[in-house]
Amino acid sequence: MIFYSIILIFQIGCKALIFKSSKKEKKIEVVSEKVNTGKTVILSNDQKIEKYLSKFGPIAIEEMKKYKIPASITLAQGLLESGYGEGRLAVKGNNHFGIKCHKEWSGKKIYHDDDKKGECFRKYKDPKESYRDHSLFLTIRPRYAFLFDYNIKNYKQWAYGLKKAGYATDKKYPLKLINLIERLNLKRFDRHAKNSVTKNSNKRELFFYRVSKGDTLFSISKKFNIEIKTIVKMNQINDNKIYIGQELIIPNK
């Protein structure tokens, strides 16, 4: 009897990144690039998950290093909210975390039925922007501030904390995150980032500034000693236009 096995390969430059599964821990290794045969392969749910983790695991690790949000939590949310990257918001809008527009959003939008019909969601140029916006979303909003007092290794506290802060309306949201983290051993991504995250490194690096009458991008940039292009990029501002009452993300120097 002949057995066939499929190894999923995800290209990064001239190398390919593979997550190999074992009962103890899934390891990352770099292998040489394989030739694409052009054949369509129907992936199982487990394969879809590994494909997602191979692509976005490194991004979640970098976000953990910079913003002190557990990579395991970020990936569990991404998997759950995006339907393994295959949901409509993820495919059409590169939105992997179900983040709605909110009043401060001035970037592109996509409309989708959620708690209500035709709700406004944020649309991004690529998924990496969605991951960064997720970090900013949790970091700068006061209602999530208490999360950063938790031990960064305690994913259960973070899961229940997100529900407490109102991130999701689903009562089972924390259990779904915890189940994904434990079933897929997502804690391994936290370990990859741990050397860059210290116990007392939870200082918030960003804050909101509400635009007032007479404010311009130039005056705001001078006020906080940051470049206009930084404000524009961080806030997804189109045509350099801002409006009174708009809440801008500002780096805390």
Q: What is the dihedral of CA 29, 35, 37, 42, to 10 degrees?
A: 10
d(CA 155, CA 112): 29
Would you say 185 and 57 are in contact if contact means Cβ atoms under 8 Å apart? Answer: no
Domain ranges in the chain with CATH number 3.10.350.10:
206-251
CATH match of 206-251 with 3.10.350.10? yes
Q: What is the pLDDT of residue 13?
A: 44
Domain ranges in the chain with CATH number 1.10.530.10:
45-196
Element holding 17 (H helix, E strand): strand 15-20
Q: What is the pLDDT of residue 239?
A: 81
Q: Alpha-carbon Rg of the chain, whole angstroms? A: 20
CATH of 45-196, one of 1.10.1660.10, 1.10.530.10, 3.40.50.10090, 1.20.1440.230: 1.10.530.10
**Beta-carbon neighbour count of residue 42 at 10 Å?**
5
Q: What is the pLDDT of residue 28?
A: 43
Question: pLDDT 10s digit of each residue in the chain, 253 long?
Answer: 444 444 444 444 444 444 444 444 444 443 434 445 556 668 888 889 989 998 999 999 999 998 999 999 999 999 999 999 999 999 999 999 999 998 888 889 999 998 889 999 999 999 999 999 999 999 988 899 999 999 999 999 999 999 999 999 999 999 999 999 999 999 999 987 765 544 444 445 667 787 888 889 888 888 888 888 888 887 778 788 888 878 787 876 6
Q: What is the pLDDT of residue 196?
A: 52
